Structure 1
Amino acid sequence: MRIYGLRRGSQAPAFAYLSVAPTLLLMGAIVALPLGYSAFLSLSSTNPITKRWAFVGFQNYTKVLQSGDFWNSFGHTLYFAVLAVLGTTILGTLSALVLNQRFAGRGLLRSTVLVPWAMAPVSVGVLWSFIFAGDFGLLNALLNDIGLGSWRTAWFGSGFIALNIVALTQIWNLTPLTCLMVLSGLQSLPGNLVQAAILDGTGPVRRFFSITMPWIKQTLIFCMVISTIDAFMAFDIIWVLTRGGPGSSTTTLSWLGYLHSFQYMKFGEGAAILYILTFLSLGFALIYFFLFGRRATTSPKTPGTGNFATQPKQVRSRAILAPTKPLTARILSQTARRRLGRALHSFAVLAIALWSFLPVAMLVLISISPTADLIRTPPSLLPSALTLDNYKAVLFAEGGASVQSARVPQSLINSFVLGSIVAVLNVALGTLAGYGFARYGQRRFFALSLWGLLLSRMIPVLTLVLPFFVIFRTLGLLDTRLGLVIAYSTILAPLATWMMKASFESVPINLERAAFVDGCSRWTTFRKILVPVVRPGIVAAFIFCFLVSWNEFLFAAILTSSPSTQTIPVVIVGFLTQTYFYEYGPFFAATVLSILPPAAVAFFFQRYLVEGALAGATKG
């Protein structure tokens, strides 16, 4: 029997093209067409009253680039992005180094660290907005309780401080993702490299910069690019925390584009701003491809095998280091160094646990506090009593309940159903497409298609939401679950495909060849042999897709309006616009309920998330 398509230079079979066709057709329909429509908007002038259109060419871009508001927002975006990238990269790397060591409770702490990332940005914004609230905030309450009440201040009253608080919130939310990816890279680091350096008398600092850093360099680059793009596209946290204020001090390009498109009704200028933001995001995506195109020269084909001879020359040469006595060894005895090392590690573990868990614990505490305690002056962290009335108000809303409280149960169901459907659909398509891209990714058609697919992930959601709104209104898909499934797939299809591509790349090609020799067709081989082998990757991709779907806010906020379709992030934001003093308790109870499912997923499926990050960050 002749076997085609599994050797370099051989012709790709029809099954390979069929495997990627559904995903490519879907992305062409739901991304390429709306993106083209958005481009048309950016070149046109519209009157929302007369509904007349006029083609104006690049006048919108010229007007935007000559605006002082644009350049102020551009400066805020760059400042915010630099803080977010540095913060997530440094804290994520340090956390990963600590969590890579063996200690009692390591598995529990690894799960705890992922909780902030699993939370929706809307929920994160609610939490941190109350931490820094001027009148009743938790930080001011802490200062008051410890006798430093004179230090209390309106934290969001200063534009510069507000921008830094928004950046800090972004860092807290996304640091676990960097930690997850770096930790996956550290787990693939061969132990013999480190042992050789230890035998040579090399200290931990020099080992890090000479061995560990070169090994995880590509992963760090990946994390930094993703963090930069996330910072450019940050929207949910700004919506909840500051809405661009005070004044315009926290207005970034994403928020400015939203204001022009949906508040000022200047569709052309708004589309132009968002397209400029898209170009910035795509620029960093090209940097990503350029840097990762050199992966083969800096990382082994079989990471984690422990075979020193197969390691990259750059890492091998740095593993054989000249004996250098560390500074601590010249000052402290070996016993003292060990005690100091254990003490520093214990302190780092405690700091990571408090950084990850304490804000969430405070959110739970205020959700079971009487509403009167949340608005008392002077504020205090200590509740006068504990109560479940807030949860009863949102789970068993009676006739006198507020509109938002009554919507919480249905919104939780909507989020769960929608997240499950979208995850199943995109993982199924991603599994098919992942096989084709993994086995035939070097051929021109598959390489260009994969480029286009991944570049689509770098497009800001705001760029697509306006054309979606117009198109869905025409097709009758506005305020429907089907409309949200289509919109969410623009985000999840590239993610699922990339993760499954990495999973299939780890499967030996000889497994398929043996099945072909036994007379199995390509479909039978794929369905009965390959899919069971990559099942852990499928589970990881499903978890990632479910979390992203559960946490998505902007599409749901713009494309839905009725309780039958609204998701829990939309309902939580609705509390912000309708909240009275007596609703603060139910508001925080609803926020806690919104984070329970994703937090439980992150907590109990931490192993699959690490495997998924390992596949996505270390496979090229």
Structure 2
Amino acid sequence: MALIDQHEATVLPPRRYRPRPPLFAYLASSPTLLMVVLVVGLPLVYSIWLVLHRANPITRKTTFAGLSNFRNIFKDPAFWEAFGRTLYFTGFALIGTTVIGMAIALVLNKAFFGRGFMRSVMLVPWAMAPVSVAVLWSFIYAGDVGTLNAALNDLGLGAWTQAWLGDGNRALNLVALTHVWNQAPLTALLLLAGLQSMPASLHKAAMLDGAGPVGRFFRITLPWLRPSLLFVCIIATINALMAFDIIWIMTRGGPGQATTVFAWLGYVYSFQFLRFGEGAAMLYVLTALSFACAIVFVLLLGPSRWRRRAQADTANAGAPNVAEAAVKARPVTLEPPKYKAPLLPRRARRLLAKALFRLAVLMIFLWSAVPVLMLLNMSLTPATDLIRTPASIIPSALTLDNFREVLFPDGGTTSTQSKRVPISLMNSFIVGTFTVLIAIALTPFAGYVFARWPRARSFQIGLWGILFTRMTPALTLVLPFFVIYRGLGIIDTRTGLVIAHLSILLPLIAWMMKSTFESVPQSLDRAAIVDGCSRFQMMIRVMIPVIRPGLVAAAIFGFLVSWNEFLFAMILTSTPDAQTIPVVLSGYLQQARFHEYGPMFAASVLSILPPVIIAFVFQRYLVQGALSGAVKG
């Protein structure tokens, strides 16, 4: 028996030893995890309580309902109609953002004069707040005085004018297209970062083997971009499923129910019908749908056998890049090229290629910049020109009166909404700055821990919890926030908005920091510790300077998210003391006073000015941050 036991001991493979994370790992990650539990976990627990109860807003009594709220919404025909529209809207947005973002990334990956400027222009639609985007495009699509109809009139095509949002099917498509215009630059940025990291030698070798541009794209570029495409698909799907701001401004679910998707229907149930339990149940269905889509994308685009073999080969051979080995694991097998006489001479082909490339650059500029230039033109147009019929995009004169009214309001003639613009801009800046500072102070430590000890069970649970909060609709949290804030006395305060925005930024930036640290070799950690640094000193002196591009990118992303946030500010604030600029912009449309169109567009320009400046000044950091892993997510 002793011999048998000894023989089995020599045959069976030894268990792989996994060192336990040090105390530093738990101390470093606990502030972020604790903050996530406080600002996200507690509201989620309350929303779960809402799902299981039925509240009477008149008597203010609640009764236990179990799963009846889910049964009620499943029996409602409006639920299944919204379900179909949500799938259509999401599919339209996913395909549109991926195709357009891929095309933009491929063009802007080429070296040409003015590439940095074009990259900044490309980012402008994404940097704009969805509320500003919706204000702009709702006026473009408007009936008698809309910009699109005005352009048709100026071109002599007045017979083509129509109320573009008046038809249900057309309205849903136009709202989805507006969402694509807003989100496609993010996809382009992520894919551009992947293209920047691709070795040129791969394409050169394939060209020597006779591969053409189309063959190289499908056999080299797409496999290389597979990890980026996975994240792009997940983010695009989640953003489309939870689209709310654009629908609120442009259609409010109409005409009829034509643009009523899950996010809007959940809002209607919760805040118009006051059926909080059923509204929360609908939003949890939306969360489950987000998870299901993420799992499908992971199965389709995630690690597969050939990629795991490539990683193993890379580890054994010491290859410099796992993704490069993954592409090499599926070599381009081409037949010997067959000679075909070209249709055009070589010089003509080169000139045609240059002309088509310049045309592509021009199309990107027109797609990204023309709507923004229209907004600037409308902000400089007298109010009477904005409502004249027949409409025209050419103003009778240019004026700064609209900007004077919102920046230097007169107590007697200036409208109430215009008086709120300066303080709302300041509120947005203060809330965004403090939210980002708190998030950046906490999340790098948690991101480092998640990257260095990914197999520790406690950190895996924390990471999946953060991912769950990222996929939870903000509508699910806003009602618990309102109830809790009212009890704490912080309703309608900037402090309350900072806490609410942290529920969005902490999970987002923590995940970005994890991806950033995954691109940093662990040899730097060991070298710093060997030199006598403690782990905390190693983080401050070594790791933080190394990940500076990713840190700057995360701060920019976080500030833009906070600056552009609308739902929390709309529900949790009611006075100018705490209202942010997206809420003030939406207030212009609620008043529906034509003479305020000029100040509304001027306020819209002021609201997009900080994001546009960020896009132009920090474009390089955004690309570097994405390249280093900050937005791999």
User: TM over 0.5, yes or no?
Assistant: yes
Q: Which residue pairs with 1:217 in the alignment?
A: 226
How many angstroms does 1:299 deviate by?
A: 7.5
How many angstroms does 1:332 deviate by?
A: 2.6
Q: Which residue pairs with 1:532 in the alignment?
A: 545
Q: Which residue pairs with 1:3 in the alignment?
A: none
Query: Match for 1:272 among 264, 281, 296?
Result: 281
Q: Which moved more, 1:274-283 or 1:182-191?
A: 274-283
Aligned partner letter, 1:499:
M
Residues 437-586 of structure 1: pairs in structure 2 closer than 5 A: 437-586=450-599
How many angstroms does 1:611 deviate by?
A: 2.1
Q: Distance in 1 between matches of 2:631 and 2:83?
A: 33
Query: Match for 2:398 among 375, 380, 386?
Result: 386
How many angstroms does 1:344 deviate by?
A: 1.1
Aligned partner letter, 1:68:
P
Aligned partner letter, 1:104:
F
How many angstroms does 1:364 deviate by?
A: 0.2
How many angstroms does 1:18 deviate by?
A: 0.8
> Does residue 417 of structure 1 match 2:430?
yes
Contact 2:319 2:325 in 1 (8 A): no
Q: Which moved more, 1:486-495 or 1:233-242?
A: 486-495
Q: Which residue pairs with 1:107 in the alignment?
A: 116
Q: Which moved more, 1:112-121 or 1:534-543?
A: 534-543
CA distance change for structure 1 residues 412 and 88 in 2, over 3 Å: closer, same or farther?
same
Q: Which string of whole-angstrom CA distances, capped at 9 and with x for unpartnered residues, describes residues 1-48 of structure 1?
A: xxxxxx972221111111110111111122122112111111211111
Contact 1:181 1:223 in 2 (8 A): yes
How many angstroms does 1:106 deviate by?
A: 0.8
Contact 2:55 2:275 in 1 (8 A): yes
Aligned partner letter, 1:221:
L
Q: Which residue pairs with 1:362 in the alignment?
A: 374
Q: Distance in 2 between matches of 1:59 and 1:310?
A: 49
Aligned partner letter, 1:568:
I
CA distance change for structure 1 residues 512 and 308 in 2, over 3 Å: closer, same or farther?
closer
Residues 282-297 of structure 1: pairs in structure 2 closer than 5 A: 282-287=291-296, 294=303, 297=308
> Does residue 130 of structure 1 match 2:142?
no
Contact 1:215 1:299 in 2 (8 A): no
Contact 1:184 1:610 in 2 (8 A): yes
Q: Which string of whole-angstrom CA distances, capped at 9 and with x for unpartnered residues, describes residues 276-307 of structure 1?
A: 111111223344555676276388679xx996
> Does residue 331 of structure 1 match 2:340?
no
Contact 1:308 1:316 in 2 (8 A): no
How many angstroms does 1:66 deviate by?
A: 0.7
TM-score, L = length of structure 1 = 0.95
How many angstroms does 1:211 deviate by?
A: 0.7
Q: Which residue pairs with 1:246 in the alignment?
A: 255
Q: Which residue pairs with 2:613 in the alignment?
A: 600
TM-score, L = length of structure 2 = 0.93
How many angstroms does 1:505 deviate by?
A: 2.2
How many angstroms does 1:520 deviate by?
A: 1.7
Q: Which string of whole-angstrom CA distances, capped at 9 and with x for unpartnered residues, describes residues 548-583 of structure 1?
A: 000000001000111010000000001111141111
Aligned partner of residue 393 in structure 2, secondary structure: coil
Q: Distance in 2 between matches of 1:372 and 1:118?
A: 30
Aligned partner of residue 63 in structure 2, secondary structure: strand
How many angstroms does 1:613 deviate by?
A: 2.2
Contact 1:30 1:487 in 2 (8 A): yes
How many angstroms does 1:324 deviate by?
A: 3.2
Aligned partner of residue 45 in structure 1, secondary structure: strand
Aligned partner letter, 1:445:
S
CA distance change for structure 1 residues 313 and 35 in 2, over 3 Å: closer, same or farther?
closer
Q: Which string of whole-angstrom CA distances, capped at 9 and with x for unpartnered residues, describes residues 455-510 of structure 1?
A: 21010100111111111111112111111111111111111112212222222222
Q: Distance in 2 between matches of 1:207 and 1:363?
A: 40
Q: Which string of whole-angstrom CA distances, capped at 9 and with x for unpartnered residues, describes residues 441-461 of structure 1?
A: 122221221111122101010
Q: Distance in 1 between matches of 2:606 and 2:506?
A: 27
Q: Distance in 2 between matches of 1:387 and 1:134?
A: 24
Q: Distance in 1 between matches of 2:338 and 2:245?
A: 50
Aligned partner letter, 1:472:
Y
Aligned partner of residue 165 in structure 2, secondary structure: helix
Q: Which residue pairs with 1:344 in the alignment?
A: 356
Contact 1:181 1:617 in 2 (8 A): no
How many angstroms does 1:440 deviate by?
A: 1.1
CA distance change for structure 1 residues 290 and 8 in 2, over 3 Å: closer, same or farther?
farther
CA distance change for structure 1 residues 601 and 197 in 2, over 3 Å: closer, same or farther?
same
Gaps spanning 5+ residues in structure 2: where? 1-15
How many angstroms does 1:326 deviate by?
A: 8.9
Q: Which residue pairs with 2:13 in the alignment?
A: none
| RMSD over aligned Cα atoms | 2.1
CA distance change for structure 1 residues 346 and 199 in 2, over 3 Å: closer, same or farther?
same
Identical-pair percentage: 56
Q: Which string of whole-angstrom CA distances, capped at 9 and with x for unpartnered residues, describes residues 414-444 of structure 1?
A: 0011101001111111111111111111222
CA distance change for structure 1 residues 483 and 299 in 2, over 3 Å: closer, same or farther?
farther
Aligned partner letter, 2:541:
K
